[in-house]
Amino acid sequence: MYQALALKLTIVFVGLVMAAFIYVAARAGRRREYAEVQTRAYRIRGYWFWLLVLLGTPVMLYTMTRLPYSLAAQQAGQAQTVRVTGHQWYWSLSQDSVAAGRPVVFEVTSADVNHGMGIYDENMRLVAQTQAMPDYINRLAYTFKQPGDYRLLCLEYCGVAHHNMSAVLHVTAAGVH
Distances (CA, A) of 149 to 8, 107, 153: 29, 19, 13
Which CB atom, from 76 or from 173, has the smaller least distance to another protein? 76
* Among 80, 97, 101, 127, contact with another protein (rule: CB under 8 A): 127
Query: Sign of dihedral through CA atoms 35, 39, 45, 48?
Result: negative
Smaller CB separation from another protein, 41 or 176? 41
- Give the strand order in the sheet containing 80-87: 90-93, 80-87, 103-110, 138-143
Minimum distance from residue 55 beta carbon to another protein (Å): 10
Q: How many CB atoms lie within 10 A of CB 86?
A: 28
- Count of all residues that appear for the chain in the document: 177
Shortest CB 159 distance to another protein, Å: 6
Closest distance between another protein and the C-beta of residue 167, in Å?
15
140 belongs to the binding site for another protein (CB under 8 A):
yes
DSSP string, 94-122: S-SEEETTSEEEEEEEESSS-EEEEEE-T
Q: Residue 41's CB: how many other CB atoms inside 10 A?
A: 12
The reply on whether position 68 binds another protein by CB under 8 A is: yes
| Near another protein in 82-111, by CB under 8 A | 88-89
Q: Please choose, out of 13-21, 76-84, 92-100, 169-177, the segment that lies near another protein by the rule CB under 8 A.
A: 13-21
Binds another protein by CB under 8 A, chosen from 94, 159, 168, 174: 159
Spell out, one character per residue from 22 to 61, where the chain touches another protein: x when CB under 8 A holds, - when not: --xx-xxxxxx-x--xx--x---x--xx--xx--x--xx-
